[in-house]
Chains A and B, each alone.
Chain A
Amino acid sequence: MNARVMSMIESKFMTKLLSLSKPEKINWDGFFKKTVNKVGVPLMAIGIFLAIWGAVASQIQTSLGQVPGPTKVWEQTVALYEEHKVERTKEAAFYERQEKRNVAKLAANPEATIKVRAYTGKATFFDQILTSIITVMTGFIIASLIAIPVGIICGLSPTVYNALNPLIQTFKPVSPLAWLPIVTIIVSAVYITDDPMFSKSFVNSAITVTLCSLWPTIINTTVGVSSMDKDLLNVSRVLRLSWFTHITKIVLPSSVPMMFAGLRVSFGIGWMVLIAAEMLAQNPGLGKFVWDEFQNGSSDSLARIMVAVVTIGLIGYVLDQFMLMLQRSVSWDKSAVLR
Chain B
Amino acid sequence: MSKKHLEISQVSIEFPTPSGPFKALDGVNLSIKEGEFVSLIGHSGCGKSTVLNIVAGLYKATTGGVILDGKEVNEPGPDRAVVFQNHSLLPWLTAYENIELAVKQVFKGKKSKEEMKEWIEHNLNLVHMDHAMHKRPSEISGGMKQRVGIARALAMEPKVLLMDEPFGALDALTRAHMQDSLIEIQQRLNNTVIMITHDVDEAVLLSDRIVMMTNGPAATIGEILEVDLPKPRNRVTLANDSQYNEYRAAVLKFLYERQRNPEEKVA
Which of B75, B76, B90 touches A249 (beta carbons < 8 Å)? B90
Given A239-B78, A239-B101, A333–B138 Cβ distance below 8 Å? yes
- Having A237-B75, A238-B80, A249-B90, one finds 12 other A-B pairs with CB under 8 Å, namely A231-B84, A232-B88, A234-B76, A234-B82, A237-B76, A238-B58, A238-B77, A238-B81, A239-B101, A239-B105, A249-B93, A333-B138
Contact residues of A between 179 and 237, Cβ < 8 Å to B: 229, 231-232, 234-235, 237
Contact status B138-A234, CB under 8 Å = no
Query: Is there contact, CB below 8 Å, between B136 and A240?
Result: no
Residues of A within 8 A of B90 (CB): 232, 235, 249-250, 253-254
Please list 14 pairs of residues, one from A and one from B, whose beta carbons are closer than 8 Å in the complex, sorted by A's number: A232-B90, A234-B58, A235-B82, A235-B84, A235-B90, A237-B58, A237-B75, A237-B76, A238-B80, A239-B78, A240-B75, A240-B78, A253-B90, A332-B91
Taking CB as reference atom, which chain B residue is nearest A235?
B88
User: In the assembly, what is the distance between CA of A333 and CA of B136, in Å?
Assistant: 10
- Whether B86 is near chain A, meaning CB under 8 Å from some CB there, is yes
Complex alpha-carbon distance, A239 and B82, angstroms: 10
Q: Which of B56, B75, B92, B106 has the most CB of A within 10 A?
A: B92
B residues in contact with A240, CB < 8 Å: 75-78, 105
* In the complex, chain A residues whose CB is within 8 Å of the CB of B56: 238
Q: A232 to chain B: which residues have CB within 8 Å? A: 88, 90
Interface residues, chain A, with chain B CB atoms under 8 Å away: 229, 231-232, 234-235, 237-241, 245, 249-250, 253-254, 256, 332-335
Nearest CB of chain B from residue A224's CB, rounded to whole Å: 13
Provide the bound-state CA to CA distance between A253 and B80, in Å. Answer: 26
Give every chain A residue within 8 A of B91 (Cβ-Cβ).
332-333
B102 at the interface (CB under 8 A from A): yes
B102's contact among A231, A234, A239, A335, by CB below 8 Å, is which? Answer: A239
Q: In the complex, what residues of A have CB within 8 A of residue B93's CB?
A: 249
Chain B residues positioned under 8 Å from A237 (CB to CB): 57-58, 75-76
Q: Which of B77, B88, B138 contacts A335 (CB 8 A)?
A: B138
Chain B residue with the shortest CB-CB distance to A242: B105
Of the candidates B77, B86, B105, B138, which one forms a contact with A231 in the assembled complex, judged by CB atoms under 8 Å apart? Answer: B86
Q: Do B138 and A334 touch across chains, with their CB atoms under 8 A apart?
A: yes
Q: Which residues of A contact B78 (CB under 8 A)?
A: 238-240
Which B50-101 residues sit within 8 Å CB-CB of chain A? 56-58, 75-78, 80-82, 84, 86, 88, 90-93, 101
| A234/B84 contact (C-beta < 8 A), A239-B105, A334-B138, A335-B138 known | yes
Whether B92 contacts A332 by the Cβ 8 Å rule is yes
Residue of B at shortest CB range from A229?
B88
Q: A229, A239, A241, A332: which contacts B136 (Cβ < 8 A)?
A: A332
Which residue numbers of B lie inside 8 Å of A, CB to CB?
56-58, 75-78, 80-82, 84, 86, 88, 90-93, 101-102, 105-106, 136, 138, 156
A253 surroundings in chain B (CB, below 8 A): 90, 92
Contacts of A250 in B (CB 8 A): 90
Asked if residues B92 and A238 are in contact (CB atoms below 8 Å), the reply is no
* Chain A residues within an 8 Å CB radius of B58: 234, 237-238
Given known contacts A231-B86, A232-B90, is B76 in contact with A238 (CB within 8 Å)?
Answer: yes
A253 to B89: give the CA distance in the assembly, Å: 13
Contacts of B88 in A (CB 8 A): 229, 231-232, 234-235
Nearest B-chain residue to A253, judged by Cβ: B92
Most buried by B among A239, A245, A253: A239
Name the A residues within 8 Å of B57 (CB-CB).
237
Q: How far is the CA of A240 from the CA of B101 in the complex (A)?
A: 11
Complex-state Cα separation, A245 to B90, whole angstroms? 13
Q: Which residues of B contact A333 (CB under 8 A)?
A: 91, 138
CB proximity of B19 to chain A, nearest CB, Å: 22
Report A-chain residues with C-beta under 8 Å of the C-beta of B86: 231
Per the bound structure, the CA–CA distance linking A267 and B106 in Å amounts to 42
Q: Which chain B residues border A245 with CB–CB below 8 Å?
A: 105
* Residues of chain B lying within 8 A (CB to CB) of residue A335: 138
Bound Cα distance A249, B101 (Å): 9
Bound Cα distance from A335 to B139, whole angstroms: 10
Q: Which of A250, A253, A254, A332: most chain B Cβ within 10 A?
A: A332
Min CB distance B176 to A, Å, is 26
The 6 closest A-B pairs by CB, nearest first: A332-B92, A231-B88, A253-B92, A237-B76, A238-B76, A239-B105
In the complex, what residue of chain B is closest to A330 when comparing beta carbons? B92
Closest to B137 in A: A332
Give every chain B residue within 8 A of A231 (Cβ-Cβ).
Answer: 84, 86, 88
- A13, chain B: closest CB distance, angstroms: 42
A232 to B58 CA separation, bound complex (whole angstroms):
12
Closest to B85 in A: A231
Of all chain A residues, which has the CB nearest B101? A249
Write the chain A residue with the least CB distance to B105. A239
CA distance in complex: A229, B259 (Å): 33
Q: In angstroms, how far is the closest chain A Cβ from the Cβ of B263?
A: 25
List A contacts of B101 (CB < 8 A). 239, 241, 249
- Complex: A240 Cα to B76 Cα, angstroms: 7
Nearest CB in chain B: distance from A230 CB, A: 9
Question: B77 contacts which chain A residues (CB < 8 A)?
Answer: 238, 240
Measured CB to CB, the closest approach of chain B to A59, in angstroms, equals: 55
CB A84 to nearest CB in B, in angstroms, measures 45
Q: Which residues of B contact A239 (CB under 8 A)?
A: 78, 101-102, 105-106, 156
Which residues of A sit under 8 angstroms from B106, Cβ to Cβ?
239
Closest Cβ of chain A to B91, distance in Å, is: 6
